């Protein structure tokens, strides 16, 4: 609104100054500087043309300059010339055309004075034309600079928003991966303990039930922390990320679920970057989860090899050693297989191992997520059957070269019993002849609760309870495959 009012004021001033002096020269016989005698028939249309051109000066600066130059030649209208040169400097595009127009207008103003012999006035007339043009150029440069700064600020703000959205998306993806790795591991343990509870002796049920409750509470806590990050930007920090030092606890959980796990290392151990240790932990966690899910009759071996610039994690599933009895009876309730079918839990995943869940049927996580996690660290992950019938998952992750001055340790990450000699997975038997999952009992477990393996108690529990004898006898041959 203010700009429009200024345009109307300039247009009115140009029209009046174009017609006024000329009318004076016509009515009273005077002669303008260098002008010609013109009547109202010429001056009035010229004044109107100058006023209209002044209204269009921002969009058509060259048209306004031409009208102002004509008004100067005919009626010596200085205000129109000043407004025209200022407009050329402020709004003339391109700059070269605007400069040429200023030169033409300046020449048109100076030539009449030269012809009339008024050389002393020429510098003043040139200054009257050039000064407004320079002022317009300065204002145009300032306006362009402010516009550029504003556009850059807006662009930077948009980029910041995009980067923030990208960071949130990446964080959500990371949390989704962690949610799959952590919660699936816990729920898998709960399912195995619940399955063991179905066939456990009455004396063994309380510690197994307590173990299920403990694992469930841990899963809920971790799930609540992970989901809270998605809904609250001010959520409390999550628990520390797992490292290689936590592999011993992970192996103990698997042993308690009935899967014998042996940990071993090769090469001098040293502290590794947090991302590398977390990725290695997730690889082992996912592999052990798949062993329990798809090959529960086997045990697992976890081997870490430290080299100068790589960490290699190898997880294999192995059959029980000779002398260790296969499970005599297992629940035959249907369970969905990885390929979408269903069948007995004892044979729906025969021959599968630590990489069995990596087909992408679990929503894109599992081994696919692990492979992406390892790839982002510059490593590789492979999974497939070996010639000897085992299933092998191997991940190689680059690590910073070892510091020659740093002390190296060669102790294994965790001590593990040989495969097949795990007391919690191979020695104890359930009422139906199935190895019972065992672990160290909680501190508050009463003595003799059945949660602690004891070879002296094994003979006392041999054979099924009286009320379940026939069912156990019928199921034993089917479960053993005899």
- Quote the pLDDT of residue 231: 54
CB hemisphere CA count around 214 (13 angstroms): 15
Evaluate whether 93 touches 64 at the Cβ level (below 8 Å).
no
Provide the mean pLDDT of the chain.
Answer: 68
Cross-strand partners of 266: 305
Question: In this model, does residue 295 exceed pLDDT 80?
Answer: no
**Binning pLDDT at 50, 70 and 90, where does residue 112 land?**
low
- 262: three-class secondary structure by DSSP: strand
Strand order in the sheet with 261-266: 261-266, 299-306, 310-318, 391-398, 380-385
Compute the distance between CA of residue 74 and CA of residue 148 in angstroms, rounded to an integer. 42
Proportion of the chain above pLDDT 70, given as a percent: 56
Proportion of the chain above pLDDT 90, given as a percent: 9
**Binning pLDDT at 50, 70 and 90, where does residue 402 land?**
low
- 414: three-class secondary structure by DSSP: coil
Cross-strand partners of 384: 392
- Quote the pLDDT of residue 451: 39
User: Using one digit for the tens of pLDDT, what is the confidence trace for 314-334?
Assistant: 999 875 444 333 333 333 333
The residue ranking higher by pLDDT, 226 or 325, is 226
Q: Which domains does the chain have, with CATH numbers?
A: 2-117 (no CATH), 166-323+349-402+409-442+451-477 (3.30.565.10)
Rounded (5°) CA angle 200-203-208: 60
Lowest mean pLDDT among 198-202, 211-215, 362-366: 362-366
Question: In this model, does residue 305 exceed pLDDT 90?
Answer: yes
Query: Which residues have C-beta within 8 Å of that of residue 198, sequence separation ≥ 6?
Result: 331
- 305: three-class secondary structure by DSSP: strand
Cross-strand partners of 336: 342
- H/E element, 342: strand 342-344
Question: In this model, does residue 269 exceed pLDDT 60?
Answer: yes
Closest CA to 60 of 92, 25, 15, 100: 92
């Amino acid at each position: 609104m203010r700009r429009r009012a200024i345009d109307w004021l300039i247009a009115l001033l140009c029209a009046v100054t174009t017609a006024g002096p000329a009318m004076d020269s016509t009515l009273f016989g005077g002669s303008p500087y260098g002008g010609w005698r013109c009547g109202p028939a010429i001056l009035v249309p010229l004044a109107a043309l100058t006023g209209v051109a002044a209204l269009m000066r921002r969009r058509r600066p060259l048209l306004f300059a031409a009208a102002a130059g004509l008004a100067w030649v005919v009626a010596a209208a200085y205000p129109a010339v000043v407004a025209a040169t200022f407009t050329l400097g402020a709004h003339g595009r391109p700059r070269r055309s605007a400069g040429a127009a200023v030169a033409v207008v300046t020449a048109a103003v100076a030539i009449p004075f030269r012809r009339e012999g008024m050389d002393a006035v020429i510098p003043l007339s040139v200054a009257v034309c050039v000064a407004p043009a320079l002022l317009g150029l300065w204002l145009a440069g300032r306006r362009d600079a402010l516009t550029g700064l504003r556009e850059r600020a807006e662009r930077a703000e948009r980029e910041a928003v995009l980067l923030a959205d990208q960071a949130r998306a990446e964080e959500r993806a990371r949390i989704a991966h962690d949610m799959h790795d952590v919660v699936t591991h816990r729920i898998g343990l709960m399912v195995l303990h619940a399955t063991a509870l179905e066939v456990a002796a009455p004396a063994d049920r309380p510690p197994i039930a307590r173990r299920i409750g403990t694992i469930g509470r841990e899963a809920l806590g971790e799930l609540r922390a992970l989901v809270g990050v998605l809904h609250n930007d001010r959520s409390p920090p999550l628990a520390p990320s797992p490292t290689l030092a936590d592999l011993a606890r992970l192996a103990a959980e698997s042993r308690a679920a009935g899967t014998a796990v042996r940990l071993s290392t090769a090469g001098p151990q040293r502290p590794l970057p947090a991302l590398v240790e977390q990725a290695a932990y997730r690889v082992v966690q996912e592999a052990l989860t798949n062993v329990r899910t798809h090959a529960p009759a086997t045990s697992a071996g976890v081997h870490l090899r430290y080299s100068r610039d790589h960490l290699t994690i190898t997880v294999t599933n192995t059959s029980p050693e000779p002398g260790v009895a296969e499970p005599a009876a297992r629940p035959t309730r249907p369970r969905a297989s990885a390929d979408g079918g269903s069948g007995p839990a004892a044979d729906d995943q025969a021959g599968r191992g630590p990489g069995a869940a990596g087909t992408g049927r679990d929503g894109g996580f599992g081994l696919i997520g692990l492979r992406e996690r390892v790839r982002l660290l510059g490593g590789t992950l492979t999974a497939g059957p070996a010639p000897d019938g085992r299933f092998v998952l191997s991940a190689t992750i680059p690590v910073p070269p070892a510091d020659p001055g740093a002390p190296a340790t060669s102790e294994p990450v965790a001590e593990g019993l040989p495969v097949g000699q795990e007391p919690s997975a191979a020695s104890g038997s359930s009422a139906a002849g199935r190895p019972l999952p065992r672990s160290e009992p909680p501190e508050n477990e009463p003595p003799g609760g059945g949660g602690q393996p004891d070879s002296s108690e094994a003979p006392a529990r041999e054979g099924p309870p009286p009320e379940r004898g026939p069912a156990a006898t019928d199921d034993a041959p089917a479960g053993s495959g005899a």
